[in-house]
Amino acid sequence: MSAHLNSTQTGQLTRAIAALGTEDFSARLLAFLHACSQFDSAVMLAYPDDSTLLVVHDELDTGDRAGFDGPYRNGLYMLSPLYAQSRSGKRGCFHISDIAPEGFTDSEYYQIYYSANDSIDQVAYLLESAAGTPIALSLERTSAFRPFSSKERAALCGLSDLLIALVRQHSWPGMKLHPPAHPDLHSHVQKVLSLFGSSVLTPREREVVRLILRGYPSKSVARELDISTQTEQVHRKNIYQKLRISSHSELFTLFFDAITVTPLADADPLLALVARCNG
């Protein structure tokens, strides 16, 4: 650990260590981080392989509540840069700019979740329990603060090894109280993502949709697919027309509706969604 702690920070760290193995640990750990840096919205999540995400500890700002309890918990988290890093096995401290696609702040994903929740900056830790369950600890600042400075980001990341060690020592008693709500939800969402729109969209249009849903803005979609921005806009116009929608928010809504149905074999989940609506 490269960070030098003052007496207040040392006191809070001592309380967090004393709370290891108890239900107070998460709150004590966040109290320690509060003593190290200012932030006004925080949440600790677990990403088990066989269930939906678990909210381990919640200190979200009021403005975050609607977006988090709605779209994010309903599946948007599986399209987030933090979740993608977790699934790839990355651990440590990350600023959102380190893990998000280029131009992320211009993306539909950013507008739906971050801007709508008045979140202007985020530093997050990807940790791991002793059992191997990925743990995400997200610290956010709303417009009540300035973005994290490079010095503040470095100080928080200097605590990464300490947090990794502490989380691995904690027994997470509360996690045992949350049985899997949606077995193999990750695989289900990935299947819906791969088949979404396959009955009406071309393969290239489906690639555009997948990148949009994963937080790529228009210019980054074009760069990723090695096409011009004009061609990307044509694809986007055709996608909206074929799916009978008129905005990116409607695209996300349609995708989350599709998650709630079970695709038949390798069929477009939109077909099952239409059948459910007509039934």
Cα–Cα distance between 121 and 39 in angstroms, integer?
A: 9
Output the CA torsion sign for 118, 120, 121, 126. Answer: positive
For residues 209 and 41, what is the distance between their CA atoms, to the nearest angstrom? 30
Q: Which residues, at least 6 apart from 125, have a Cβ–Cβ distance to it below 8 Å?
A: 92, 93, 94, 135, 136, 137, 160, 163, 164
| Local confidence pLDDT in tens for the 279 residues of the chain | 445 789 999 999 999 999 999 989 999 999 999 999 999 999 999 987 766 778 899 998 887 777 787 778 777 888 889 998 998 889 999 999 999 998 898 888 888 888 878 889 999 999 998 888 899 999 999 999 999 999 999 999 999 999 999 999 998 765 643 444 444 667 778 888 889 999 999 999 999 999 998 889 899 999 999 999 999 999 999 999 999 998 888 888 888 888 877 767 788 888 888 777 765
pLDDT at position 210: 92
Q: What is the pLDDT of residue 1?
A: 46
| CA 24 – CA 15 distance, rounded (Å) | 10
Q: Which domains does the chain have, with CATH numbers?
A: 8-177 (3.30.450.80), 185-278 (1.10.10.10)
User: Tell me, what's the pLDDT at 141?
Assistant: 94
**What was the pLDDT predicted at 273?**
80
